[in-house]
């Protein structure tokens, strides 16, 4: 059974940093593209970033480029999202998602999602 | 970025009825369209991909279709457990983009 378990969220002041983690199990983690998708309270879904199987290629949405860093540790089956210079508009539930494909270059489709971790940015 | 316009934003239907949710892509996405179901407090679940392919384990009362850049999700014989918010997502190109969601309420 595929399981994705996020952690690391919380209440953070604007301008501070936070690192989210996602522990994966139930599949060969190193074989799949992984991603982060967020959802602001009562809002829709917004893709944030994706990372290739080896970690050497990453994609980000424009609004987070330079502030967010996606990374992975295939030895630990863990995905990360480093969030710097937090803004109020980053307040959201952050989901870790497994991509269907093994290539980051096409088909950004997600078949399994974690339960999500809440990040609240407020002074 | 490819814009996904989803409608309606909400709808109410009775048990056993059939409902249709639509998503309009701002450009050709070559059938690379997925539908997700999200129940309150839960994460999204993949229902359909490639416009009409049913994800494993999803009941056959869910179906997807397309006409040009217009994509539809049909739910037949509504069950109580179908009350949820449904999102479309284009998986043709980066950045993957989602529709605004349709909240389905059961009367």
Each residue of A46-79: pLDDT tens digit?
999 999 999 999 999 999 999 999 999 999 999 9
Which two structure tokens, joined as six digits, stand for A87? 């803004």
Q: In 3D, which of A110, A106, A25 has the Cα closest to residue B43?
A: A110
pLDDT of residue A39: 97
Handedness of CA B34, B8, B69, B97 (dihedral sign): negative
CB distance from A34 to chain B under 8 Å? no
For residue A100, give Cα distances in angstroms to A23, A31, A84, B15, B95.
17, 10, 28, 33, 16
Residue pLDDT, tens place only, A99-114: 999 998 888 999 999 9
- According to DSSP, the residues that pair with A69 across neighbouring strands are A82
Which two structure tokens, joined as six digits, stand for B60? 């056959």
Q: How far is A95 from chain B (nearest CA, A)?
A: 8
pLDDT of residue A42: 87
Asked whether the predicted pLDDT for residue A19 surpasses 90, the reply is yes
Residue pLDDT, tens place only, B41-66: 999 999 999 999 999 999 999 999 99
Largest CA distance in chain A: 40
Give the ranges where chain B is alpha helix by DSSP (H): none
pLDDT of residue A105: 87
**DSSP secondary structure code for residue A58 in this structure:** E
In chain B, residues with a C-beta closer than 8 Å to the C-beta of A64 are none
Q: How far is B93 from chain A (nearest CA, A)?
A: 7
CB distance from B89 to chain A under 8 Å? yes
Distance CA A55, CA A73 (A): 8
**A92, A61 Cβ separation under 8 angstroms:** no
């Amino acid at each position: 059974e595929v399981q994705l378990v996020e952690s690391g969220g919380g209440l953070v002041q604007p301008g501070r940093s936070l690192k989210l983690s996602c522990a994966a199990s139930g599949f060969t983690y190193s074989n799949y593209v992984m991603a982060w998708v967020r959802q602001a309270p009562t809002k829709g879904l917004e893709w944030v970033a994706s990372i290739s199987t080896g970690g050497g290629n990453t994609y980000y949405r424009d609004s987070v480029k330079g502030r967010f860093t996606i990374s992975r540790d295939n030895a630990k089956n863990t995905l990360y999202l480093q969030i710097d210079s937090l803004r109020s508009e980053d307040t959201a539930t952050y989901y870790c998602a497994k991509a269907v494909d093994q290539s980051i270059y096409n088909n950004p489709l997600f078949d399994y999602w974690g339960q999500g971790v809440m990040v609240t940015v407020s002074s | 970025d490819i814009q996904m316009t989803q409608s309606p934003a909400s709808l109410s239907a009775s048990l056993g009825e059939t409902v249709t949710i639509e998503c309009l892509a701002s450009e050709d996405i070559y059938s690379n369209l997925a539908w997700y179901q999200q129940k309150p407090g839960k994460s999204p679940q993949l229902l359909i991909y490639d416009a009409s392919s049913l994800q494993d384990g999803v009941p056959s009362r869910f179906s997807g279709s397309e006409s040009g850049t217009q994509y539809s999700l049909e739910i037949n014989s509504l069950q109580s457990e179908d009350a949820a918010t449904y999102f479309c997502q284009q998986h043709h190109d980066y950045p993957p983009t989602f529709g605004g969601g349709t909240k389905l309420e059961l009367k």
